Structure 1
Amino acid sequence: MIMTDFQDNARAALIEFVEQNPGGVLASHPQSGDFPEAAWIDLAVSATAGGGEPGEIVFGTDRRSRKALNIGARPEVSLVVVSGRGQEIQVEALARVLGGEDSARAGEAIAAAHPEGGGDPDYVCVVGLEPKWVRWVDMSTMPPTMQDFEV
């Protein structure tokens, strides 16, 4: 992946990067207190209902977790995904708990991307991210590159 991918279609490039690197650190606003909560999450890309869009970034969590409670109170989150090869994306997004067909489709994508995952099915909720802003960083180039994109 190179920066021109983001310049041509930032949303599609973001989706492709997450498909290739399906995990990251999500930071959410706490319900109370001064410090944000950050946690590793397993990511997946779920197909959209119409199939015309490049997909939706999704993850599963326990509805009793701090991140789920935080998202319920304030949907603004930040996400960092790294490639391990010098590239990373930083994302600002709105998070929402999915329901119905969207939840089922996302759950299938998460299970396919992370077959070792799971959790108590009585408490799992599926969350979709709506990216608003992305920063692409590539430290493998000389000079290193960084650029911001509205999504």
Structure 2
Amino acid sequence: MLPASVKADDLASVVEFISAARSGIVATVTAVGRPEAAFVGLAILDDATLIFNTHEDARKIANLRASEHVAVVVGTAGAVTIQIEGVARIVEGDERESYGAEYIRQRPGSRARSTGFSVVVIQPTWIRVYDTTTHTPTVTEATMLRTVKPVAAEPHSA
């Protein structure tokens, strides 16, 4: 169930919304700057870190090796849409295991830790919520000032 109100500066409401939506569209760019978008399943941590998995031969993996900058849209079928810009990392080793385990916890049956699949972590740097549930649509934005660095997966409390 989606939260009654979502505001960009209220991370708990953003996390709740994305957790309920479970999927979104991730946009990347090729090495020559051409845009590409893909529908992906999403998991989310309490700090709004997004996680998705994809086949290691997917175009988005090649794109992320060329540019770490991504955009994500969640909620395209309803009256509330969340837009996120951020920095993505393809995680490996212990991080892959940790983030992959959290992705599988939120999306049972995923192949996130299977051979041939990559786990991607997105640290949001900007969030916009567009809400048309009111007579006058509202837009809220938040800039997340944080250093992008490897972090341990924080279990999302569902």
Whose helix proportion is higher, 1 or 2? 1
Q: Which runs of 5+ in 2 are unaligned?
A: 145-158
Q: In the alignment, which of 131, 146, 149 is matched to residue 139 of structure 2?
A: 146
Aligned pairs (5 A) from 1:19-34: 19-32=19-32
Give the Å deviation of 1:123: 1.5
Identity %: 26
Give the Å deviation of 1:116: 4.0
Question: Is 1:30–1:36's contact at 8 Å kept on the other side of the alignment?
Answer: yes
Is 1:72 aligned to 2:71, yes or no?
no
Q: How many residues align?
A: 141
Name the structure 2 match of 1:107.
100
Question: Is 1:79–1:91's contact at 8 Å kept on the other side of the alignment?
Answer: yes
Q: In the alignment, which of 75, 83, 90 is matched to residue 82 of structure 1?
A: 75
Name the structure 1 match of 2:122.
129
Backbone CA RMSD of aligned residues: 2.2
Distance 1:43 1:98 in 2: 15
TM-score by length of 1: 0.81
Distance 1:95 1:40 in 2: 16
Name the structure 2 match of 1:93.
86
Distance 2:65 2:124 in 1: 17
Question: Is 1:44–1:57's contact at 8 Å kept on the other side of the alignment?
Answer: yes
Distance 2:135 2:105 in 1: 36
Name the structure 2 match of 1:50.
none
